[in-house]
Structure 1
């Protein structure tokens, strides 16, 4: 008599499975990027990650950057890229094909830094910043193309054949997660706005969102940034939530602090509490 046998499960699930679960749970939330990078580094160590989108018309937009290089330098590279350097990217033709539906849905694009890149482009983005290897993947989505770039720096060495094998298997998944995350952000912009819950949002909105004094001195964008600072968002999370560059978050925060006469988050919080007290008395 034939016996039905259930296939034996592995004694231990792969280490990255928990990280993948956390990434999936964080879709649409500000914490998504941090969870994604933990997952990716569990699979293959990455020193610098830069993600962009291209609209059907070919406009480039920076989504996020995570890097071991100084933050200001990483942000400058992203700004330079969307500012015009993207047209010199040797992947540009592939990206155009994806935008126009002439290529497959997802492509992993390995290139040789010495032979495939223009010397000036290579010097600006790679040699000056100790970037020595790059894996890129692009995926066609409803709104255009998601373009993800994963770099290694000199101290880590180039990707090994085993690294490339893993990247080939996992990068389409990583890119799909990124595309799903930003689709959710577009369709549900309020998702993940408040780690502390509705009560904190409501109180802060009552004084900052409605421009109660002294927050009436601020522009709308400055108030939006201050509200998220008070809710505990990091600069990266604020940038993601508002769809602006992290450097712009810093600029808006500095302007707001100057107008309000504060220098720290604690002082901003005290100012907000005082405004809440005045509003409740009134």
Structure 2
């Protein structure tokens, strides 16, 4: 597992003009999967990339799937992305980058992160997100369009071809600024429209109490969405009793004692 900043564009590599045009034309498309599909067309043949998923990490919440593309088609990769967002995102090496670079100037940072199947310690995470989708390696392009929001363009390598070779990493680096700018502009057009209201509401909660853990934020998201403790537990893969524990802990940190007070805090009425 490794990560590195791409501080200056790599001015090498060939660019297929028709595929670059397709990438630009997908920005703001009504087809939510068009952007990932065009990224896959741009890079798939030259780096043996079989899948692409674009996630938005917004205000410390669970990642939201923005766009997916898989050579096999169908819902398979979308289901894998949903499983990742529900159960495993906190184990992703991307999280360390997102959480440790909050003070960087938004829009100025492009980070590449490589995470192979062998880097995954958690067996369930490795099975669900690498072995079942037939992935051996992943390179993520991480870009921050605005404060507290990150986009991750994940490029998955087909297991038949092993891990990425240095030449293929160099090709990804060459295309990374183009892909990152496309993702940022797409998010600027569609991001706010598609963002869940609960995520927007939690932005204020995190401002009041930055110490809230990811588990606590996930539980509060479910509360704001009107889910029961059992439904939240099913989504997170934990027991309903654990959900109640996380909720009580979060309420205590926030200085509140009820869901009504949580909603009041989210809409800007301050501490109750």
8 Å contact kept, 2:40–2:51: no
Closer/same/farther in 2, CA of residues 73 and 186 from structure 1, 3 Å limit:
closer
Counterpart position of 1:118: 122
State how far apart, in whole Å, the 1-side matches of 2:38 and 2:132 are.
Answer: 29
Segment of structure 1 superposing worse, 62-71 or 81-90: 62-71
Tell me the CA shift for residue 186 of structure 1.
4.3
CA RMSD of the aligned region, Å? 2.9
Residue 185, structure 1, aligned to residue 171, structure 2 = no
Closer/same/farther in 2, CA of residues 119 and 26 from structure 1, 3 Å limit:
closer
8 Å contact kept, 2:28–2:186: yes
Tell me the CA shift for residue 54 of structure 1.
0.6
Which contiguous aligned blocks of 4+ residues in structure 1 show a shift greater than 4 angstroms?
186-189
State how far apart, in whole Å, the 2-side matches of 1:125 and 1:35 are.
Answer: 22
Counterpart position of 1:155: 160
Tell me the CA shift for residue 155 of structure 1.
3.0
Match of residue 109, structure 1, among 91, 99, 113 = 113
Q: Give a deviation string over 1:173-224, Cα, whole Å, max 9, x none.
A: 21221121121224789xxxxxxxxxxxxxxxxxxxxxxxxxxxxxxxxxxx
Segment of structure 1 superposing worse, 132-141 or 169-178: 169-178
Tell me the CA shift for residue 168 of structure 1.
1.7
Segment of structure 1 superposing worse, 133-142 or 69-78: 69-78
Tell me the CA shift for residue 99 of structure 1.
4.1
TM-score, normalised with respect to structure 1: 0.55
Higher relative contact order (CA 8 A, sep 6+): 2
Tell me the CA shift for residue 117 of structure 1.
4.0
Counterpart position of 1:93: 96
Q: Give a deviation string over 1:20-63, Cα, whole Å, max 9, x none.
A: 12322342123642433322335533101111001123331111
- Secondary structure at the counterpart of residue 185 of structure 1: helix
* Bigger share in strand: 2
8 Å contact kept, 1:90–1:116: no
Counterpart position of 2:21: 21
> Structure 1 unaligned runs (5+)?
1-12, 190-282
Count of aligned positions: 177
Residue 71, structure 1, aligned to residue 83, structure 2 = no
Closer/same/farther in 2, CA of residues 68 and 169 from structure 1, 3 Å limit:
same
Match of residue 139, structure 1, among 130, 136, 143 = 143
The structure that has the greater radius of gyration is 1
